[in-house]
């Protein structure tokens, strides 16, 4: 898939919580076909101490309207600067980058598990799975009810289960504590979120012999396989998260 460097116009901005927002982008050119799990590298303009581009997953795509969305959580200087952008301003991207989640060819019972802003790539994935004849369930985990994002969007995909760490919404605890994991018998799990959560989901999947793919959010420099700062040790040797990933089957990871 050819990569582009392009400045895209922010045609909408939605503030989901105090520190999480969604930017909807559109360009003059037709946006390329992208796959769920792929990401973009964003240039943070006018910010000399954040000269490296920042990676964000493709959150949602509307080919009909020639737009796609990024869901961004403020984590430091770069994302704080991005949070000050408004409708009508431009964002320079290198995209689409990385591999994608694999889509099963036959019928499978599928669960998407997302934690915090790790829900970002799963909306696009869920819609893609639906368009390809699957009916995924979704399990979302947040710290508390005030941190819940995109719940209604995920409801459009099908059943949505919820956990919060303080029990203020859904079941109390972590995603791996949810009752649905005790009962449902899934064939396949896709997961994105904080690393401890993905490791817990990986260990649950191993114990229950469930095929599982995770999307890693390792630190990145170049995003195109040059700087080697995103290396992840796997059973196939050291791989680049940016070009060999960010999606990995847990069978390959040394977790
Ligand atoms: C493939 C991929 C997809 C991602 N998708 C999303 C997404 O959809 N939404 C979202 O909110 N975040 C996403 N992230 C994480 C996001 O890239 C970082 O939060 C962001 O780069 C932080 O930049 P900063 O300048 O604000 O933070 P910094 O001031 O640079 O650092 C603050 C914190 O962010 C971490 N961080 C810094 N740079 C990176 C980096 N290049 N990659 C990963 N972590 C970093 C640091 O470890 C530190 O803990 C993704 C990361 C990767 C690798
Ligand atoms: S980020 Fe540079 S090699 Fe992956």
What DSSP string runs through 31-75?
PPP--TT-EEEE--TT-GGG-S-EEEE--EEETTTTEEEEEEE--
* Average pLDDT of every residue of the chain: 94
φ, ψ (nearest 5 deg) of residue 112: -100, 130
Say if residue 167's pLDDT is above 90.
Answer: yes
Ligand 2 pocket test target in 221, 238, 248 with most atoms within 8 Å of CB: 221
In the reported structure, the alpha carbon of residue 56 is separated from the centroid of ligand 1 by a whole-number distance in angstroms of 7
Residue 234's beta-bridge partner residues?
237, 253
* Other Cβ atoms closer than 10 A to 184: 14
Say if residue 163's pLDDT is above 80.
Answer: yes
Please give the pLDDT value at position 123.
96
Say if residue 46's pLDDT is above 90.
Answer: no
In the reported structure, the alpha carbon of residue 74 is separated from the centroid of ligand 1 by a whole-number distance in angstroms of 9
CB 61 within 8 A of CB 31: yes
CB 54 within 8 A of CB 39: no
Please give the pLDDT value at position 219.
87
In the reported structure, the alpha carbon of residue 51 is separated from the centroid of ligand 2 by a whole-number distance in angstroms of 15
Task: Locate the ligand 1 atom nearest the alpha carbon of residue 221 and give its number.
Answer: 41
In the reported structure, the alpha carbon of residue 217 is separated from the centroid of ligand 2 by a whole-number distance in angstroms of 12
Question: Is the CB of 82 within 6 Å of ligand 1?
Answer: no
Ligand 1 pocket test target in 22, 45, 50, 54 with most atoms within 8 Å of CB: 54
Residue 42's beta-bridge partner residues?
54, 93
Say if residue 221's pLDDT is above 80.
Answer: yes
Please give the pLDDT value at position 2.
86
In percent, the amount of the chain with pLDDT more than 70 equals: 100
pLDDT-based confidence at residue 228 (cuts at 50, 70, 90): very high
Question: Is the CB of 99 within 6 Å of ligand 1?
Answer: no
**Residues contacting ligand 2 via CB (< 6 Å):** 220-223, 225-230, 240-242
Say if residue 49's pLDDT is above 90.
Answer: no
- For the segment 119-126, the average pLDDT, to the nearest whole number, is 96
CA gap 182, 176 in Å, rounded? 9
In the reported structure, the alpha carbon of residue 103 is separated from the centroid of ligand 1 by a whole-number distance in angstroms of 26
In the reported structure, the alpha carbon of residue 20 is separated from the centroid of ligand 1 by a whole-number distance in angstroms of 13
Say if residue 124's pLDDT is above 90.
Answer: yes
Say if residue 232's pLDDT is above 90.
Answer: yes
Question: Is the CB of 42 within 6 Å of ligand 1?
Answer: no
Say if residue 91's pLDDT is above 80.
Answer: yes
Say if residue 177's pLDDT is above 90.
Answer: yes
User: Which residue's C-alpha comes closest to atom 20 of ligand 1?
Assistant: 54
Ligand nearest to the CA of 238: 2
Say if residue 1's pLDDT is above 90.
Answer: no
- For the segment 213-239, the average pLDDT, to the nearest whole number, is 93
Closest CA to 19 of 85, 59, 73, 76: 73
CB 10 within 8 A of CB 91: yes
Question: Residue ranges of the alpha helices (H) in 147-215?
Answer: 151-155, 179-183, 195-207
pLDDT-based confidence at residue 117 (cuts at 50, 70, 90): confident
- For the segment 183-203, the average pLDDT, to the nearest whole number, is 94
Please give the pLDDT value at position 50.
80
Please give the pLDDT value at position 51.
84
In the reported structure, the alpha carbon of residue 210 is separated from the centroid of ligand 1 by a whole-number distance in angstroms of 29
Closest CA to 175 of 211, 140, 216, 131: 140
Give the H/E segment covering residue 123: helix 120-131
Say if residue 111's pLDDT is above 80.
Answer: yes
């Amino acid at each position: 898939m050819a990569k582009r460097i392009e400045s895209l116009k922010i045609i909408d901005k939605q503030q989901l919580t105090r520190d999480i927002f969604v930017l909807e982008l559109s360009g003059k050119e037709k946006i390329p076909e992208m796959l769920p799990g792929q990401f973009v590298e964003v240039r943070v303009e006018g910010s000399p101490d954040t000269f490296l581009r920042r990676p964000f997953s493709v959150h949602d795509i509307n080919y009909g309207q020639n737009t796609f969305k990024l869901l961004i959580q403020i984590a430091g200087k770069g994302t704080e600067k991005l949070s000050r952008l408004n409708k009508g301003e431009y964002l320079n991207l290198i995209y689409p980058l990385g591999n994608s989640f694999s889509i099963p060819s036959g019928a499978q019972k599928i669960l998407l598990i997302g934690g915090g802003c790790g829900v970002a790539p799963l909306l696009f994935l869920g819609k893609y799975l639906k368009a390809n004849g699957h009916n995924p369930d979704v399990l979302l985990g947040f710290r508390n009810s005030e941190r819940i994002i995109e719940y209604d969007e995920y409801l459009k995909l099908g059943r949505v289960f919820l956990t919060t760490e303080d029990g203020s919404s859904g079941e109390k605890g972590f995603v791996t504590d949810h009752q649905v994991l005790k009962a449902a018998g899934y064939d396949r799990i896709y997961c994105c979120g904080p690393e401890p959560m993905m490791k817990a989901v990986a260990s649950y999947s191993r114990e229950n012999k469930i095929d599982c793919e995770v999307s890693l959010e390792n630190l990145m420099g170049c995003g195109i396989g040059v700087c080697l700062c995103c290396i992840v040790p796997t059973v196939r040797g050291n791989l680049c998260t940016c070009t060999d990933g960010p999606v990995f089957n847990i069978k390959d990871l040394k977790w």
